[in-house]
A and B are shown apart, each in its own frame.
Chain A
Amino acid sequence: MFVRLSAAIAAMSLLSSAALAQGAKPTDPQIAHIAYTAGVIDIAAAKQALTKTGNKEVKAFAEDMVRDHEAVNKQALDLVKKLKVTPEDNDTSRTLSKNAADKLAELAKLKDAEFDKAYVANEVAYHKAVDSALETTLIPNSGNAELKSLLQTGLKIFQGHEQHAEHVAAALK
């Protein structure tokens, strides 16, 4: 549990330090890429959960994650198309993807209640990290008003996910 949490915190600090390390604030094409990547990661995690869980609440939560994150990402794709912006890969996106791949592999080894607990605990930590990155880095640095507004909608819905994940985590104890 603590290992997972610290991994998430490491991911969270990487999220901001990677951007800072470039000596510049993330640009809109980078922000779009990071936000989209963060959504893809959570959808992949949810799809893994749907193949592994037998728990009704975990299943409903994972279905919510797929539905909402796909909705946000579809909107994000429509927006970048409209703005003629090409999302730009960057260190933060790469770090997020690498960490997520490791986490998927780690969770793949777990079963039943053990999997459920680990998945939901990671969802709590992951949404905390993403919400914090949105609040402190991505939203303040986004230049385009429509991108900012979409990120704000994202933040609002992901805060709900964080609470939902905490609720499910408490029920699993």
Chain B
Amino acid sequence: MTPRWPLSIVAALALGVMSVSAHAATIQITMENLVISPAEASAKVGDTVEWINKDIFAHTATAQNGDWDVTMPPKKTVTSVLKKAGIIEYYCRFHPNMKATLTVTP
């Protein structure tokens, strides 16, 4: 499986050549029509996730391991900062068919 790097990570890596590497990035994860995309995303500890809910329904991004639980009101964007590394399987508590994975590296 080829890891799919969000543009922001690629940009951060490219910029890392010039700047000090510890610069935090922002990645976007979208919930639309009851689907989370990308289904597999990667980020680093310290990065910010912009959770974009395009649906008329409220959603959550709830880590199976209990690390985080973000609630997104309908048509709203919510941000959270990643504090712990790990391969996090998460889902929407209101619509458990919505599932995805976020890989957080140290």
Q: A residues bordering B, Cβ < 8 Å?
A: 60, 64, 67-68, 71-72, 74-75, 153, 156-157, 160, 163-164, 167
User: Do the beta carbons of B58 and A157 come within 8 Å of each other?
Assistant: no
How far does the Cβ of B8 sit from chain A's closest Cβ, in whole Å? 29
User: Do the beta carbons of A160 and B34 come within 8 Å of each other?
Assistant: yes
- In addition to A67-B57, A160-B34, A163-B97, 14 A-B residue pairs with Cβ atoms within 8 Å of each other are A60-B93, A67-B94, A68-B94, A71-B57, A71-B74, A74-B56, A75-B56, A153-B33, A156-B33, A156-B34, A157-B34, A157-B57, A160-B96, A167-B96
How far does the Cβ of A126 sit from chain B's closest Cβ, in whole Å? 18
Majority DSSP secondary structure for residues of B touching A: loop
Pick 21 A–B contacts, CB within 8 A, sort by A.
A60-B93, A64-B94, A67-B58, A67-B94, A68-B57, A68-B94, A71-B58, A71-B74, A74-B56, A75-B56, A153-B33, A153-B56, A156-B33, A156-B34, A157-B57, A160-B34, A160-B95, A160-B97, A163-B97, A164-B96, A167-B96
Q: Which residues of A contact B95 (CB under 8 A)?
A: 64, 157, 160
Q: Which residues of A contact B58 (CB under 8 A)?
A: 67, 71
Between A and B, how many residue pairs show CB distances below 8 Å? 29
Q: Which residues of B contact A160 (CB under 8 A)?
A: 34, 95-97
Number of interface residues of B (CB under 8 A): 11
How far does the Cβ of B38 sit from chain A's closest Cβ, in whole Å? 20
Q: B residues bordering A, Cβ < 8 Å?
A: 33-34, 56-58, 74, 93-97
How far does the Cβ of B22 sit from chain A's closest Cβ, in whole Å? 40
Closest to A167 in B: B96
Q: CA–CA, A167 to B74, complex, Å?
A: 25
Q: Which residues of B contact A67 (CB under 8 A)?
A: 57-58, 94
